[in-house]
Structure 1
Amino acid sequence: MMKNTTLLLLLLTSVFISCNCTKTVTATPSIYDNAWELEYISGSRIAFDGLYPENKPTVMFDKTEMRVSGNSSCNGYSGDFTLTENQIKIGEIMQTMRFCEGGGEQAFQGMMKKINKVAFDSEGKLLLLLDDIPMMRFKKIVKRQ
């Protein structure tokens, strides 16, 4: 009888512990296959909504062609990039030549030239960093098929 009780107790303990130890596996976010919309930029003395009163800058990274593209709130842009681990280097950016008021576009393009690392925060938002300091934060806006 004692042997059966001990065995039953061990079995129930194992079941209880295994139920409480299930792990939630979440996929590591990727800069690819998504469009990202800027929601924070560092370094400007003008409030974010003042810099981008109508359109927020966007960015997309194409893994196949290693191209970065998007809209800097006024003009479209594209350029080459390289990514190794979390180190990123964005090459020369070409953009359309539409006249844009305000300083938002210049702030965005200037910051894009400075960033050198990529990371994600706990919510899966894309962080573009200068060394280890987040300079821009983007939220995912579109999942490409």
Structure 2
Amino acid sequence: MKKYTLAVVSVLTLLFASCMATKETKNSGGLYGTTWELEYISGPRIAFEGLYPNKKPQLTFDQKETRVYGNNGCNGYSAPYTLKGNSLTFGEAGPTTMMFCEGGGEQEFLKQIKNVTSYTVDKDGKLNLIHKDVPVMRFKKVTKQ
């Protein structure tokens, strides 16, 4: 009888643990384990390719460090973030390189990311960064980690 009870408790423990892991994955909405590349930004009246003629901004979320890393279309980018459900905010960007780049997209990226209040990952797997109820930036997955 003790072996049977031990087996049942073991199975229930495994089921409970797997359910918790699934819940945590859903809460992150697929942010982790990939690099995101910007494909749309609202606001500027310059064509997207004109803003980012050489390199498109990219973000990678580090769950353990609660920081986001990447580039802002010109220089390296790193900032803390706060994630609660679908609420997402970014802190001040850390030190970056000081390269001069064409297009002016760097300033637009930094301006828009400071205003982000939430996010969604849509049915096509695109990451939408939202200010209030308006999507201001959209990213596509470019690599899996």
Q: Percent identity?
A: 52
Counterparts of 1:37-76 in structure 2 under 5 Å? 37-76=37-76
Amino acid across the alignment from 1:35: T
Query: How many residue pairs align between the two structures?
Result: 118
Give 1:105's aligned residue: 106
Cα distance in 2 for residues equivalent to 1:39 and 1:47: 11
Amino acid across the alignment from 2:143: V
Q: Which has the higher helix share?
A: 2
Cα distance in 1 for residues equivalent to 2:51 and 2:103: 7
Counterparts of 1:1-145 in structure 2 under 5 Å? 29-94=29-94, 95-144=96-145
Amino acid across the alignment from 1:68: V
Q: Could you tell me how far 1:88 is from its partner in structure 2?
A: 0.8
> Could you state the TM-score of these two structures normalised by the residue count of structure 2?
0.77
- Whichever of the two has the greater Rg, that structure is 1
Cα RMSD for the two superposed structures: 1.3
Amino acid across the alignment from 1:30: G
Name the SS for the 2:92 alignment partner.
Answer: strand
> Could you state the TM-score of these two structures normalised by the residue count of structure 1?
0.77
Cα distance in 1 for residues equivalent to 2:42 and 2:115: 12
Cα distance in 2 for residues equivalent to 1:119 and 1:128: 7
Contact 2:117–2:131 (CA<8 Å) still a contact in 1? Answer: yes
